[in-house]
Amino acid sequence: MSLLVVSGSPHVHGDLTTKKIMWGVVYAMIPALLVSFYFFGMGAVKVVLVSVVASLFFEWVITKYLLKQKPQITDGSALITGILLAFNVPSNLPVWIIIVGALVAIGIGKMSFGGLGKNPFNPALVGRVFLLISFPVQMTSWPTPIPMFKAPMLDAITGPTPLGVVKEGLRNGESMESVMSQVPDYVNLLLGYNAGSLGEVSALALLLGGLYMLFRKIITWHVPMSYMATVLIFSGILWLVDPNAYVNPLFHLVTGGMMLGIFYMATDMVTSPMTPVGQIIFGVGVGLLTIIIRVWAAYPEGVSFAILIMNAAVPLLNKIKPKRFGEVVKA
Amino acid sequence: MDSGIITALVTLSAIGAVAAVVLYFIAQKFKVIEDPRIDDVTDALPGANCGGCGYAGCRAFAEAMVKEGTMEGFFCPVGGNDLMKSLSPLLGVEAVEKKPQIAVLRCNGSVKNSPAKYNYDGPKNCTFTHTLSSGEGGCMFGCLGGGECVDACDFDAMYMDPETGLPVVKDNCVACNACVLACPRDLLELRNRGPKDKRIFVACMNQEKGGPAKKNCSVACIGCAACFKVCPHDAITMNNNLAYIDYEKCTLCRKCVEVCPTDAIHEINFKPRPPKAEVTKGDEPKKAPVKKAVVVEEGAAPAPRPAKEPRAESTEVAIEKPKATSTTSEKKEENKSENQNNNQ
Amino acid sequence: MLKTFRIGGVHPKENKMSATAPIEVMEHPKRAVVPVSQHLGVPAKALVKKGDFVKTGQMIAKGEAFISANVHSPFTGKVFKVEETLDSTGFRRMAVIIDVEPDQWMEGIDLKTEIKRDIDLSPEEIVKKIHENGIVGMGGATFPTHVKYMVPEGKKVEYLIINGVECEPYLTSDHRLMLEKGEEMMIGIAILMKGLKVNKCIIGVENNKPDAIALLKDIALKYQGITVEPLKVQYPQGGEKQLIDAVLRRQVPAGKLPLDVGCVVNNVGTCFAVYEAVQKNKPLIERIVTVTGKPVKKPSNFLVRIGTPVDMLLSKAEADVEASGKIINGGPMMGKALVTTDVPVTKGTSGILLMEIAESNRKEEQNCIRCSKCTTVCPQGLEPHLLKVLGKRMDAEACEVERIMDCIECGSCVYTCPAQIPLLDYIRIGKAKTGAMIRNRSRK
């Protein structure tokens, strides 16, 4: 008889694996991915493909030759980084810039800290912010979406994002009404018929994926809910104070990378706090920072910066301990 | 403008002066009078902060020594006798000589001698496997092979032998006691370094009766007391079916090694014995008492001994001698040297 | 909504394969090994030596210390040896080995099968009987029962809580006991209530045993103050502290005992053993053992005398030992893997579980992705991911600050970890080191 196996208890394991979690996130991104293909056509396909392939390649090369470990690119984490990075860039970005972005995201954002699970900052956002600061022109010339089958493939016309329109308009002293008349209506904002990074345009598709992740228990409600509530309340207060100077809260919610940030970036397990209370504080912090940047700072969009700043605060938030057994007051 | 500068100068100077006075008085008030010798002694110590002396660090050791005003009971195993002697003028007291020691592993339950009885799946960590079961080899007293002693060693004097699965103490051991404390089964012991690093010890801690002990490990001490009977110096005691050699009494005569039926007694750094002239050889150390020999030979060289010289010597002979004479003891000889290597 | 405990918890696949198998009486072995230490605490001292003749029910080892329990001979026969023998814990312990002959019972043991309902003894006599007959907690922890009933001055007990939860997957011994010996068990509960001088008792049963709940509710109608509480299926509800939280909404503070919130918790198996000890004067010499697992052809529940080798149980249940890579004493969550099947059944053996070779080995450990699932499921509200790091580093001080000693080693964190990290192994290292540090400190 072969020798019996002996190990410490427990002897059974639930069927949850890292791979399942990561692929669950990938499935959740499919609606937004399809919407981007629909509106941005081959440009979007190209950007996503290049970003994914480059991310996987850098992950594989770095784990194998620099860290000298067994590469585990099939676990899906580099795939997520690749797709998220693609979601965060315009669809007409030159290929070489995407590759640089993937290198920064995987190499500096993730691997320099030791690989999966050890990075303090969301790798895709590190890559995105690096590109935004290094190549501001290419990164902010957004092509206007041309729905598939509607128009022939022309040279894409570029235009500002709705948030950019508003910021620019308000800065130039235009009235809120005239500014708002220049941006697409809410139906188009929800569906994605507006200019922007390829993954962020359709709030509805992103919401769908987010609900799927909540349903599969890949993410918990704490971060998205507190983030969303903070954005609505904070921008709502500003709007109530002066509706002519500040945009209404719903507009904030459905434009730009807000939905992408709420469901896919801020909820990243590795870079968000471990306890429910910490997660709520994290969400509130990201929400406040996003609106502050959007309203008062130079950039029209603040989701990436807000999340990265709060990522840095995560070790501090992890000092908040969960509710311990025996500390609950007698009922 | 001018007056502004002057006002600033005056004010700042006044603040400075007041602060200086306050500081002076506070410093006087809260002055800690410390024996200057503590600093001197601390500077002389190796600064490894290994805890081998039993104190939290080198400075704590120095403080305790200065406070007690004696060197009795104080010993820095890293610096050894040399260092302690050099400290004696600083402290103005006589240094107490201590024989240099080395850690030995009192287990030879290698993968071969004590094959695995089950398949362990989990972290290789002695503290954990010790609580989980008897150990893979089945011995409740034997080495678990998790290497916590090796991790505890600050002097790179230990390593895990991948072939045997046991830790090995190198000759540069400074006897800091860290591995002894790390072992959950108390298998490591500090023993005197004999002349030329010779040492004899029972490489087993199994307190079970012969039958069960032998069932798990082919080189276990079975408590037969053969060594106890043969020892001419009363150095061996029997306790719970286990022999123990008192290193203070042992004269390294090697008689016990010969009689041990399971090869549980190890001799290290000895010349392989010539086949017939064993008795006279064995008597030799008796004439020259070990204690003296230790003081003369070892006292001067407490620092990590050059391990190569005696080793090379012994291996050379080991190759030559068995070839010259092929007796029945040859096989045993080979076994021994193998065991030595395993365990040393 | 059904009650359950309030923090954490997981729900492993139940796999109660032997739930419908009635209790079968196991044959006697040729040679029985009876360890003298089958309980938590100080080992009992053997009273017999080689060559002695012992009768069934005779005391063969006496627990002299406060936390210790007597051991009685489960068989009649000659003592072959008193020797250290490998037991189910994986260590060799002192054991009395008996060559089994046909039963000759000790005088005073009532072997009649009819149920004796009247409780004549006083509370003190009840506790004495429990002590004499070597009753220990039958749930697996084997804590000597009489110790729980020696309530210190100044502590007031309000509730007796009976644990019929059986939250471990696979195991069904308590379930079958409740179904087949419900009447006797309830008398046992009444005895314990008298011994404890309380008039309120709650029996907690998980909702996956509706037949047992219905039966117990029916029987409980005849008794004053006993209620049956169906509970939501959630692991580790069978933990003492979790069970109190589930049925009473009281949380035992860290480092305190259930007594501090006015409770005493006992397992249903213990209640049955108490019935036999007090009403029939029969010492604890047999128990119900589940033999189950995928490689077992006939998953069964056996009534086994203590000291019977596990091998015999396996062959009676037609277990395919060749096809199993791991054999566990107890349930899959908290049970201990056996080193060999040549070990005896003891008072704490609630089940023998066989695992297929494919599921015996752990999967490869991966990086922690900080998903915080371990923190979410920890029933004690700890942070296993943090304790694992500290335990691996053997940082006893930091472990203590993070309350590592509160860990009940339920294994929920490892069960749920997507990176397959054996968190509990490392936490145990930390616990060992922290425990040693605390003991050293109190010695000083």
Domain presence at residue B20: no
Backbone torsion region of residue A114, taken as left when φ is above 0, otherwise alpha when ψ lies between -120 and 50, otherwise beta: left
Query: Which of the listed residues B91, B125, B159 is the one where a domain comes to its end?
Result: B91
Separation in Å, CA of B33 to nearest CA in chain A: 41
Residue B302 has pLDDT above 50, yes or no: no
Shared domain check, B150 and B71:
no
Calculate the average pLDDT of chain A: 88
Backbone torsion region of residue C49, taken as left when φ is above 0, otherwise alpha when ψ lies between -120 and 50, otherwise beta: beta
Domain presence at residue B255: yes
The residue of chain A nearest to residue B133, with distances taken between CA atoms, is A6
Query: Which of the listed residues C279, C296, C321 is the one where a domain comes to its end?
Result: C279
Note the maximum CA span of chain C.
64
**pLDDT computed for residue B273 by the predictor:** 67
Domain presence at residue B185: yes
Domain presence at residue C5: no
Say how many C-beta atoms besides its own lie within 10 A of residue B310's C-beta.
19
Residue that is written with structure tokens 């104190």 in the block:
B55
- Residue B122 near chain A (CB below 8 Å): yes
More confident residue, A231 or B337: A231
Residue B283 has pLDDT above 80, yes or no: no
Contact yes or no for B122 and A7 at CB 8 A: yes
Residue A2: its chain B contacts at CB < 8 A?
Answer: 119
Residue C376: its chain A contacts at CB < 8 A?
Answer: 220
Shared domain check, B203 and B146:
yes
Shared domain check, C217 and C312:
no
Contact yes or no for C362 and B121 at CB 8 A: yes
Separation in Å, CA of A198 to nearest CA in chain C: 28
Residue C420: its chain A contacts at CB < 8 A?
Answer: 13, 17
Contact yes or no for B120 and A7 at CB 8 A: yes
Shared domain check, B66 and B136:
no
Per-residue confidence band for C57, with pLDDT thresholds at 50, 70 and 90? very high
Shared domain check, C182 and C326:
no
DSSP-based helix, strand, coil % in chain C, nearest 5:
30, 25, 45
Task: Tell me C235's DSSP state.
Answer: B
pLDDT > 70: percent of chain C: 100
**pLDDT computed for residue B318 by the predictor:** 38
Lowest mean pLDDT among B56-65, B308-317, C86-95: B308-317
Task: Tell me C360's DSSP state.
Answer: T
Say if strands B188-192 and B265-268 run parallel, antiparallel, or are unpaired.
Answer: unpaired
Secondary structure in 3-state letters for B55-93: CCCHHHHHHHHHHHCCCCCCCCCCCHHHHHHHHHHHHCC
Subunits that touch chain A (at least 3 Cβ pairs < 8 angstroms)? B, C
- Residue B116 near chain A (CB below 8 Å): yes
| Domain tally, chain C | 3
CATH of the domain at B71: 1.10.15
Residue B282 has pLDDT above 70, yes or no: no
Q: Is the dihedral of CA B259, B263, B269, B270 positive or negative?
A: positive
Residue B121: its chain C contacts at CB < 8 A?
Answer: 360-362
Contact yes or no for C92 and B212 at CB 8 A: yes
**pLDDT computed for residue B72 by the predictor:** 79
- Residue A9 near chain B (CB below 8 Å): no
A242 contact partners, CB below 8 Å, separation of at least 6:
none
Shared domain check, C299 and C158:
no
Interval C412-434: pLDDT, tens: 999 999 999 999 999 999 999 99
Shared domain check, C296 and C239:
no
Task: Mutation target for B interface from A7, A9, A12, A13: give the one with most B CBs within 10 A.
Answer: A7
Contact yes or no for B122 and A5 at CB 8 A: no
**pLDDT computed for residue B155 by the predictor:** 86
Residue that is written with structure tokens 């003081």 in the block:
B295
Domain presence at residue C212: yes
Contact yes or no for B128 and A8 at CB 8 A: yes
Mean pLDDT of A118-124: 93
Separation in Å, CA of C84 to nearest CA in chain A: 21
Query: Which of the listed residues C329, C359, C389 is the one where a domain comes to its end?
Result: C359
Shared domain check, B146 and B239:
yes
Interval B36-59: pLDDT, tens: 888 888 888 888 888 788 888 888
Subunits that touch chain B (at least 3 Cβ pairs < 8 angstroms)? A, C
Residue B286 has pLDDT above 50, yes or no: no
Contact yes or no for B117 and C361 at CB 8 A: no
Shared domain check, C79 and C197:
no
Per-residue confidence band for C254, with pLDDT thresholds at 50, 70 and 90? confident
Lowest mean pLDDT among A194-208, B113-127, B278-292: B278-292
- Residue B128 near chain A (CB below 8 Å): yes
Lowest mean pLDDT among A199-208, B44-53, C309-318, C333-342: B44-53
Mean pLDDT of C93-104: 91
Write the burial class of residue B259 (CB in 10 Å: 0-12 exposed, 13-18 middle, 19+ buried). Answer: middle
Residue that is written with structure tokens 């070489």 in the block:
A96
Q: How many helices (H) and strands (E) are present in chain B, helices listed first?
A: 14, 9
Domain that holds residue B74: 36-91
**pLDDT computed for residue A149 by the predictor:** 57
- Residue A3 near chain B (CB below 8 Å): yes
Mean pLDDT of B279-295: 38
Lowest mean pLDDT among A293-302, B69-78, C31-40, C133-142: B69-78
CATH of the domain at C304: 3.10.20.600
Of A181-195, A207-221, B301-315, give the range with the top mean pLDDT. A207-221
Shared domain check, C274 and C129:
yes
Q: Is the dihedral of CA B93, B97, B100, B101 positive or negative?
A: negative
In this complex, which of B121, B128, B133 lies closest to A5 when CB atoms are compared? B121
pLDDT > 70: percent of chain A: 95
Distance CA C433, CA C66 (A): 26
In this complex, which of B125, B133, B209 lies closest to C91 when CB atoms are compared? B133
CA neighbor of C38 nearest in space, from C71, C81, C82, C80: C71
pLDDT > 90: percent of chain A: 55
Residue C432: its chain B contacts at CB < 8 A?
Answer: 127-128, 131
| Domain tally, chain B | 2
Per-residue confidence band for C388, with pLDDT thresholds at 50, 70 and 90? very high
Residue C344 has pLDDT above 80, yes or no: yes
Domain presence at residue B96: no
Domain presence at residue C70: yes
Distance CA A102, CA A86 (A): 9
More confident residue, A140 or C315: C315
More confident residue, A156 or A317: A317
Say if strands C351-356 and C286-293 run parallel, antiparallel, or are unpaired.
Answer: parallel
Query: Which of the listed residues C241, C260, C279 is the one where a domain comes to its end?
Result: C279
**pLDDT computed for residue C88 by the predictor:** 84
Q: Is C227 helix (H, G, I), strand (E, B) or coil?
A: strand
Q: Are the beta carbons of B210 and B241 closer than 8 angstroms?
A: yes
Per-residue confidence band for C398, with pLDDT thresholds at 50, 70 and 90? very high
Shared domain check, B160 and B290:
yes
Amino acid identity for residue C178 in this structure = M
Shared domain check, B129 and B213:
yes
Shared domain check, C154 and C256:
yes
Lowest mean pLDDT among A186-200, C214-228, C307-321, C358-372: A186-200
Interval B60-82: pLDDT, tens: 888 888 888 888 778 888 888 88
In this complex, which of C10, C369, C403 lies closest to A117 when CB atoms are compared? C369
Measured CA distances, A291 to A136, A194, A228, A301, B344 (Å): 21, 21, 11, 9, 68
Query: Which of the listed residues B91, B126, B157 is the one where a domain comes to its end?
Result: B91
Domain presence at residue C66: yes
Q: Is B108 helix (H, G, I), strand (E, B) or coil?
A: coil
Residue that is written with structure tokens 């499935």 in the block:
A27
- Residue C343 near chain B (CB below 8 Å): no
**pLDDT computed for residue B275 by the predictor:** 58
Work out how many CB contacts closer than 8 A connect A with C. Answer: 155
Shared domain check, B173 and B77:
no
Task: Mutation target for B interface from A3, A11, A13: give the one with most B CBs within 10 A.
Answer: A3
Calculate the average pLDDT of chain C: 91
Query: Which of the listed residues B53, B69, B91 is the one where a domain comes to its end?
Result: B91
Per-residue confidence band for A186, with pLDDT thresholds at 50, 70 and 90? confident
Domain presence at residue C200: yes
Separation in Å, CA of B65 to nearest CA in chain C: 22
Domain presence at residue B1: no
Distance CA A324, CA C406 (A): 9
Shared domain check, B139 and B85:
no
Domain presence at residue B56: yes
Separation in Å, CA of A73 to nearest CA in chain C: 13
**pLDDT computed for residue B295 by the predictor:** 34
Shared domain check, C238 and C173:
yes
Shared domain check, B168 and B62:
no
**pLDDT computed for residue C126 by the predictor:** 92
Say how many C-beta atoms besides its own lie within 10 A of residue A2's C-beta.
8
The residue of chain C nearest to residue A120, with distances taken between CA atoms, is C370
Residue B214 has pLDDT above 80, yes or no: yes
**pLDDT computed for residue A330 by the predictor:** 44
Residue C92 backbone phi and psi in degrees, to 5: -90, 130
Domain presence at residue C202: yes
- E-assigned strand segments in C294-416: 300-305, 324-329, 336-337, 351-356
Domain presence at residue B8: no
**pLDDT computed for residue C317 by the predictor:** 92
Shared domain check, B221 and B175:
yes
Shared domain check, C145 and C263:
yes
In this complex, which of B118, B131, B212 lies closest to C428 when CB atoms are compared? B131
Distance CA A314, CA A293 (A): 20
CATH of the domain at C267: 3.40.50.11540
Interval A52-78: pLDDT, tens: 999 999 999 999 998 888 888 888 899
- Residue B127 near chain A (CB below 8 Å): no
Mean pLDDT of A186-210: 86
Domain presence at residue C105: no
Per-residue confidence band for C234, with pLDDT thresholds at 50, 70 and 90? very high
Task: Tell me A73's DSSP state.
Answer: G
Residue that is written with structure tokens 């209620």 in the block:
C227
Shared domain check, C381 and C246:
no
Contact yes or no for B122 and A8 at CB 8 A: yes
Shared domain check, C88 and C59:
yes
Identify the bridge partners of residue C92 per DSSP, sorted by sequence position: C86
**pLDDT computed for residue C298 by the predictor:** 92
Residue B316 has pLDDT above 50, yes or no: no
Residue B266 has pLDDT above 60, yes or no: yes
Residue C294 has pLDDT above 80, yes or no: yes
Shared domain check, C287 and C266:
no
Interval B78-116: pLDDT, tens: 888 888 888 888 888 877 777 888 899 999 988 888 888
Domain presence at residue C194: yes
Residue C223 has pLDDT above 50, yes or no: yes
Residue A4: its chain C contacts at CB < 8 A?
Answer: 325-327, 337-340
Separation in Å, CA of C117 to nearest CA in chain B: 44
Domain that holds residue C298: 23-100+283-359
Shared domain check, B194 and B72:
no
Per-residue confidence band for A20, with pLDDT thresholds at 50, 70 and 90? very high
Backbone torsion region of residue B213, taken as left when φ is above 0, otherwise alpha when ψ lies between -120 and 50, otherwise beta: alpha
Q: Which of residues 313-332 of C touch B (CB under 8 A)?
A: none
Question: How many Å from the N-terminal Cα to the C-terminal Cα in chain A?
Answer: 55
B13 contact partners, CB below 8 Å, separation of at least 6:
none
Mean pLDDT of B136-159: 88
Shared domain check, B129 and B68:
no
Domain presence at residue B198: yes
Contact yes or no for B128 and C362 at CB 8 A: no
Separation in Å, CA of B160 to nearest CA in chain C: 19
**pLDDT computed for residue C443 by the predictor:** 82
- Residue B117 near chain C (CB below 8 Å): yes
Separation in Å, CA of A15 to nearest CA in chain B: 19
